[in-house]
Structure 1
Amino acid sequence: MSKIKILFVVAVSCLLISCQQEELVMLYFNGEIITMSADEQVVEAMAVQDGLIVGLGNLESLSAQFPKAIRIDLGGKTVIPGIVDSHVHAHEFGQQTLKANLEGTTTEEEMVSRLQAFFPNPMKGEWLLGFGWDEGEWASKGYPDRAALDIAFPDNPVKLQALHGFAGFYNGKALEIAGIDSNTPEPEVGAIIRRENGEPTGVLETSAQQLVNRFVPEETVEEAKRAIISGLETLKSKGITAIHEAGMTKLSLQAYLELDAADLLPIRVYGMLNGNDDQMMEEWFAKGPKMDLDRKFLVKGIKVFYDGSLGSRTALLFGPYSDNPKAARMTERISISKIKELATKAADKDFQLAIHAIGDLGNDRILDVYEEAIKNKPFDHRWRLEHAQVVYENFYVRASELGVWVSMQSSHAVGDRNWAEDRLGPNRIKHAYAWRNMLDNQVPFILNSDMPGEPWEPMQTLYFGVTRMDLQGNPTSAWYAEQALTVEEALRAMTIDGAKSAFMEKMTGSLEVGKFADFVILSENPLEVAPHKIKDIQVERVVIQGK
């Protein structure tokens, strides 16, 4: 073949490839596209090709740049970046299809009724599982007692997980299997709640739950994979395109790894290892983080449970609880010396620490650990405090100077408002659920759901953050309204900053040229509707990597 013919063939081939690529461009227009980028907040058109954003701007210029693009009319709808829910328990959420829902129950008899409806004919010896009773609400009036459960289910062990996971409620059969009775000594961490005669009521706090939970039959990896996929698909349907899975067990970690290897994950998952699991941490410190941004599953975070919860009075406070100090059992679920060891290794191996701390004393102690580790080895750590519900007055300046991120949940403020001030008193409450204080002091801040313990849909999370009201619009004057966020601040904390807190901002979290086309089409613009209507905005379409 002559040189001229070869050049002709190459030229025609390049032309065909160019046309073919141009035909694959999807051009979204006639809507409001909120980019959450630093440069340009809202544009009228966006071009997507091969899963990436290739153009943003006005329709005229993008039409000229991509004349053969497939045009998609948004019909006046709003586009936002895919939501990054930066603190979830998706595996647990997927498991809930196998458990009785006890949310909103206020009596033991109501719990029994729901269990009987969910498990009408249980086989003898079968474990009956439930979730969702609110340990905070119950602790205010007195924890439940197992008597009604024992009568209703004498032959079946019962395990009922509390709403936030800081307590479990078990019947006599479950306690019998675990060998727990009036003579059982208190565990090193956690508490066995007892009747006046010393018999266990059935409620076990924090780590004491493991006395019984280790006897519950464990899922197989295949069952875990099905639960995870179920949970992630539901999250995706509501506009969530990436999550941070906060504290993976060995089983869930294996399930995620297998799902990722088979390209079966429907959304992006930033996995946090269980820092309370010595064996898991030894293994991963040896191998290092898993951070291939082209994959859907990443591992770099280490979630550590330090103190308990405010509702159950197990969070660590500088002073006594204001409402019932005798009922408080402030809890360290892991020693500070052990956390210091983890911090040293995490800094050395380039892992991110994300430590659960609720009370002001708990948060102060963790900042001490972070400060020591970070100053010994300065690096781009992006270490986090999960919840930071109650903080001391000097917290904001310290966290800002250290660059420590706070990971907070808007649903917790409205969910806890009925008893939070009782627990803390009029002074400490001013530094509780203090989102505005964090932002005003330049503390890196992300907003998330902690699902499945609270209402978790993104438009609900956004609504809570902006209004400080529950879904029924209570309280009508907003609860400590001075701590509320603007819509733009809340959206940023749920998108680009959520991505940045997991080292993913170069590929997702905002709509910018070169990033993955992960976005959500909404029925209305959250920047323009009345705040009380944000919760009613519908997700009309979810796109991940252009699909």
Structure 2
Amino acid sequence: MRLIPLQCSLLVAAALAAPAAVADTVIDNAVGYTLDSKNALVQFSSLAFDDAGRVIAVGTAAEMAARAPKARHIDMQGKTILPGLIDAHGHVFNLGEMLTQLDLSASASLADALAQAAAYGRANPGHAWLRGRGWNQEIWKLGRFPTAAELDGAVQDRPMWLSRVDGHAGWANSRALALAGITRATPDPAGGKIMRDAQGNATGVLIDAAQDLVDRVLPKQSEAEARVVLDRALAQMAQMGLTSVHDAGVNVAQDALYREYADLRKLSTRVYGMIGGVGADFDRLAGKGPLPSYAQDVYALRAVKLYSDGALGSRGAALIAPYSDEPASRGLLFYKQTAIGAMMEKAMRRGYQVNVHAIGDAGNRQVLDAFQRLIPKTGKGAQRHRIEHAQVVAPADIGRFKRIGIIPSMQPTHATSDMNMAENRVGPQRIGGAYAWRSFAQQGSRIACGSDFPVESSNPFFGIHAAVTRQDAAGRPVAGWFPEQALSLKEALRCFTLDAAYAGHQEQNLGSLEPGKWADFVVIDRDLFRIAPADIHKTAVLETWVAGRQVFKK
């Protein structure tokens, strides 16, 4: 790892040559790292910023003392500082909801999940509906989906609805199925599937768009509940060192709450919003066009989130050839080519960045085909369009991302969570184009990294660890899962900082600790560049700062 020496740092030289910007605060005695605009890793011991929350300079203590003789000083006592970490794909309100609902992500078996469901029901006698998230039948080694009858054994007096870990399937008890009006005669909706037994009866699991049958009868979230959910999500994101997040699916009510929180300086994490779809919410929110920045870059709403297919774990991801472990299925494309193209074009012509969820190789190809046709047609290539996940891509299509100008927005922990089933799903040939970070980086694609929380943990150090080691927290597999696709630590840090900022059109203000940018940074308990890669996931955030303001302290 080559570091730029302090005395040669372009950052320091630029800062010292700049006109007399005044530093009001200096962070001293730190082990600091930042990337610069030339992709060099710069080390510093002092960081200076003004009362507006903008970086003045980084360098040595002596340089900062000469630059800011009247500034207040904060001694970091040798702790490590990184630029604020950016999660380029999360679901903020879903994260907050998960913190208020049953969390099955740690359930080790079906019996364990049922015991937790029963306990949750007993502990919440006043809830009309019982909700939760996080189950994964692959971890349970069940070999099938769970059933409503099994869930009835835990809770049968009230409806219970539990989202799968990826959010692309839901598990209902019989009471919930009845309230949703799901019978043997209910047809599969477009883009969805009702799992059935040999007699055609619904078994309790609904895939992708079929979940809407339950969602439409769920009690609507009140404004007070939404505030609690947002408060809890913000608290956790600050604790994780996330100074910015790209929220993949914002509706009208959430947009209003974000703007209110921004006005009140309550957004402790910056939010780059994607409008969920191009329907009624888009028509209302897009009235004045994209919102590049609101309240000093605390909020933005300049993107749209669309879906091409489902998820790999529930076999909803659309594949070009059948699933290797289920030859009768190729997954689900949510829309025909003309329909998804029309949605993408509507958003593009209104000036929005278009970010499309695509996990299977057929889903990715569908979206690439649409972008390849629409960008010349609309002249809207500069909007930095993205494919969210880009999870299983036909090797021949990887190069198209670079040629067309599409950003792969990827989540490293998906690889280490999915390695227990991914190769079974797609087979030994197709897996070569799956979770292929090195292939994308090598061709010059700027990868925007995130977590897809609450599908995965919101802890960005889990993602950096997965990107570098291709291992889970237990160090499995020993050599890494397809280790040839791993990233270097510098590349992984860039994916969670500068490249994530670029994917949100925010690299001029976020992503590094360069002069003039916002003083967004995290203080952590270890030096990432001097520890074993296997220990990266153990990193703890001690402090989180946004625009020079401390928003979390451990």
State how 1:249-260 maps to structure 2 within 5 Å.
249-260=251-262
Residue 36 (str. 1) matches residue 23 (str. 2)? no
Q: CA deviation at 1:481?
A: 0.5
One-letter amino acid of the structure 2 residue matched with residue 315 of structure 1: A
Cα distance, 1:199 vs structure 2: 1.5
Write out per-residue CA displacement over residues 288-336 of structure 1, whole angstroms, 9 at most, x where no aligned residue. 111225141110111111101111111111111111222x362122332
Give the equivalent residue in structure 2 for 1:375: 376
TM-aligned CA deviation for residue 417 of structure 1: 0.6
Change beyond 3 A, Cα 1:121–1:466: closer
Tell me the distance in 2 between the aligned counterparts of 1:539 and 1:121: 32
Superposition pairs for residues 261-280 of structure 1, below 5 Å?
A: 261-275=263-277, 277-280=278-281
Q: Secondary structure at the match of 1:98?
A: coil
Whole-angstrom distance in 2 between the partners of 1:189 and 1:100: 27
Once the two structures are TM-superposed, the CA of residue 122 in structure 1 deviates from its matched residue by 4.7
Query: CA, structure 1 residues 330+140, in 2 after alignment: closer, same or farther (shift >3 Å)?
Result: farther
Could you tell me which runs of 5 or more consecutive residues in structure 1 were left unpaired when the two chains were aligned.
1-20
Letter in 2 for 1:524: R
Tell me which residue corresponds to 2:222: 220
Tell me the SS of whatever aligns to 2:398: helix
TM-score (normalizing by structure 1): 0.92
CA RMSD of aligned residues (A): 1.9
- State the SS of the aligned residue for 1:60: helix
Give 1:461's aligned residue. Answer: 463
CA distance in 2, matches of 1:196, 1:109: 24
Contact 1:167 1:209 (C-alpha < 8 Å) held by counterparts: yes
Equivalent residue number for residue 9 of structure 1: none
Deviation per residue, 1:400-453 (Å, 9 max, x gap): 112210011111101111111111111111110000000011122111111111
How far has the Cα of 1:121 moved from its partner? 5.4
Distance 1:167 1:329, change over 3 A: farther
Cα pair 1:193 1:202 within 8 Å, conserved: yes
How much has 1:140 moved relative to structure 2? 7.0
Contact 1:222–1:255 (CA under 8 A) maintained in structure 2? no
How do residues 199-210 of structure 1 correspond to structure 2 at under 5 angstroms? 199-210=201-212
Distance 1:543 1:122, change over 3 A: closer
8 A Cα contact 1:315 1:358, kept in partner: yes
Say whether residues 1:145 and 2:147 are aligned partners: yes
For residues 228 and 130 of structure 2, the distance between their equivalents in structure 1, rounded to whole angstroms, comes to 20
User: Given the superposition, is the C-alpha separation of residues 264 and 122 from structure 1 closer, same or farther in structure 2, using an over 3 Å criterion?
Assistant: closer
Judge which range, 30-39 or 263-272, deviates more. 30-39
CA gap 1:264/1:43 in 2 versus in 1, 3 angstroms: same
Please say which of residues 128-137 and 433-442 is displaced more in the overlay.
Answer: 128-137
| 2:45 match: secondary structure | strand
1:248-300 deviations in whole A, cap 9, x for unaligned?
2343333223322333211100011111x511222234321112251411101
Question: 1:86–1:78: structure 2 CA closer, same or farther, 3 Å change rule?
Answer: same
Residue 543 of structure 1: aligned partner: 545
Largest Rg, 1 or 2: 1
Tell me if 1:113 matches 2:115.
Answer: yes
1:312-331 equivalent positions in 2, closer than 5 A: 312-326=314-328, 328=329, 330-331=331-332
Q: Deviations over 1:161-209 (max 9, x none)?
A: 1100010000111111111111222222211111122221110000101
Which residue of 1 is the match for residue 495 of structure 2? 493
Paired residues of 1:469 and 1:475 also in contact (CA < 8 A): yes
Stretch of structure 1 that moved more, 523-532 or 156-165: 523-532
Question: Could you tell me which amino acid in structure 1 is paired with residue 343 of structure 2?
Answer: L
**Separation of aligned partners in 1, 2:524 and 2:263:** 32
Cα distance in structure 1, aligned partners of 2:386 and 2:321: 24
Q: Distance in 2 between matches of 1:221 and 1:319?
A: 45
What is the match of residue 188 of structure 1? Answer: 190
Work out which of the residue numbers 111, 133, 136 in structure 2 matches 1:131: 133
Partner of 2:444: 442
Give the equivalent residue in structure 2 for 1:88: 90
Cα separation, 2, equivalents of 1:124 and 1:231: 24
- Identity among equivalent positions (%) equals 34
> Which stretch shows the higher mean deviation, 389-398 or 156-165?
389-398
Structure 1 partner of 2:12 = none
Alignment correspondent of 2:244: 242
Once the 2 structures are TM-superposed, how far is the Cα of residue 506 of structure 1 from its aligned partner? 1.2
- Distance in 2 of aligned mates of 1:135 and 1:374: 40
Task: Please identify, of 261-270 and 416-425, the stretch whose mean Cα deviation from structure 2 is larger.
Answer: 261-270
Equivalent AA in structure 2 for residue 271 of structure 1? G
Separation in structure 2 between the aligned mates of residue 425 and residue 76 of structure 1, nearest angstrom: 48
What is the alpha-carbon distance in structure 2 between the residues aligned to residue 471 and residue 42 of structure 1?
28
Stretch deviating more after TM superposition (229-238 or 148-157): 148-157
- Corresponding residue for 1:3? none
Amino acid in the other structure paired with 2:545: V
Equivalent residue number for residue 386 of structure 1 = 388
Aligned letter for 1:226?
V
Give the equivalent residue in structure 2 for 1:528: 530
Conserved 8 A contact 1:271-1:298: yes
Relative distance call for 1:125 and 1:296 in structure 2 (3 A) is closer
Distance in 2 (alpha carbons) for counterparts of 1:140 and 1:381: 44
Contact in 1 for aligned 2:137/2:143 (Cα 8 Å): no
Residue equivalent to 1:27: 26
List, as ranges, runs of 4+ consecutive aligned residues in structure 1 with deviation greater than 4 Å.
Answer: 121-125, 135-140
Q: Separation in 2 of the partners of 1:136 and 1:272?
A: 31
Q: Give the Cα separation in 2 of the matches to 1:258 and 1:25.
A: 29
**Contact 1:524–1:537 (CA under 8 A) maintained in structure 2:** yes
State the alpha-carbon separation in 2 of the partners of residues 130 and 498 from structure 1: 30
Letter matched to residue 231 of structure 2: I
The answer (yes or no) to whether the contact 2:414–2:456 under 8 Å persists in 1 is yes
- Greater alpha carbon shift after TM alignment, 141-150 vs 122-131: 122-131
Cross-structure match for 2:346: 345
Aligned residue for 1:265, secondary structure, equals: coil
Give the aligned residue type for 2:409: S
Distance 1:529 1:504, change over 3 A: same
Under a length normalisation based on structure 2, what TM-score does the superposition of the two structures give? 0.91
Aligned length in residues: 524
| Cα distance in structure 1, aligned partners of 2:31 and 2:154 | 56
Where structure 2 has 5 or more consecutive residues not aligned to the other structure, the ranges are 1-20, 550-554
Per the alignment, residue 10 of structure 2 pairs with none
Aligned pair in 2 of structure 1 residues 542, 107: CA closer, same or farther (>3 Å)? closer
Cα gap change, 1:58/1:104 in structure 2, threshold over 3 Å: closer, same or farther? closer
Deviation at 1:535, TM superposition (A): 1.3
Q: Which moved more, 1:255-264 or 1:382-391?
A: 255-264
Tell me the distance in 1 between the aligned counterparts of 2:390 and 2:111.
35
For 2:161, what is the secondary structure of its paired residue? strand
Equivalent position SS for 1:442: coil
Letter in 1 for 2:27: Y
- Within 5 Å, give how 1:289-368 maps onto structure 2: 289-292=290-293, 294-326=296-328, 328=329, 330-368=331-369
Q: Deviations over 1:478-520 (max 9, x none)?
A: 1001100100000000001111100111111100111111001
Cα distance, 1:120–1:72 mapped onto 2, change above 3 Å:
same
